[in-house]
Amino acid sequence: MNKNRLIAIAFVLSVSLNLLFIGAIAGRHMSGPHPRDMAPPLGRALRGLDEDTRNELEPRLEDHARTIAPLHEEMNAARSEFRKLLSKKQIDEVALQKSLSRLHKASGDFQSTMLEQMVLILKDLEPEQRRKVSRFLIHFPGDRKPPRRPRD
């Protein structure tokens, strides 16, 4: 194969790959926010709603994310501190108790704020929308899927 032909093939492949990447990026932006991009965990719970409703809720979810982020960071820091204390050869009971108290407070603050935020968002949804969202909100640790609804 001559040199010009190799350059032409490389050029066509390069342009094709660039168009593929540009198309993927453009398609992602044109299809609206992916549920994974929405503020967790409420964003994931709202993925069953139509796009217009999600777009309408997006500013509120961004506010939610700004409120929740520092609480989540504190909870993770407290959890990390507790793990470090547990991994030491000699347990410092006083430090461990303080760490557990910090973790308990951080977890409680995070959970209570999450519940408040959920109520603020869910109260404005229609009953059918709340039903769709409830599938993602009502679960127990370790469950792979939400529990079955009780039969009336």
- Please report the pLDDT score of residue 106 as a whole number: 92
Q: Taking phi first (over 0 means left), then psi (-120 to 50 degrees means alpha), and beta for anything else, what does residue 87 get?
A: alpha
Residue 133: CB atoms within 10 A of its CB come to: 20
pTM given for the model: 0.58
Using the structure block, give the residue that is written with the tokens 């935020």: 117
State the chain's mean pLDDT as an integer: 76
- Please report the pLDDT score of residue 35 as a whole number: 43
Assess contact for 109 and 71: CB atoms under 8 A: yes
Higher pLDDT, 70 or 31: 70
- Please report the pLDDT score of residue 140 as a whole number: 44
pLDDT at 37 over 60: no
C-alpha distance from residue 73 to each of 21, 32, 76, 87, 109 (Å): 34, 28, 5, 21, 12
Using the structure block, give the residue that is written with the tokens 């926010």: 33
- Which amino acid, one-letter code, is at 67? T
Distance CA 76, CA 14 (A): 44
- Please report the pLDDT score of residue 44 as a whole number: 67
Max mean pLDDT range (37-46, 63-72, 75-84, 127-136): 75-84
Higher pLDDT, 12 or 28: 12
Distance of CA 27 to the CA centre of its chain: 21
Q: Which helix (H) or strand (E) element contains residue 18?
A: helix 3-30
- Please report the pLDDT score of residue 139 as a whole number: 56
Structure tokens given for 130:
């709340």
Q: What is the DSSP letter of 101?
A: H
Residue 41: asked if its preceding bond is cis (omega within 30°), the reply is yes
- Please report the pLDDT score of residue 128 as a whole number: 86
- Please report the pLDDT score of residue 77 as a whole number: 93
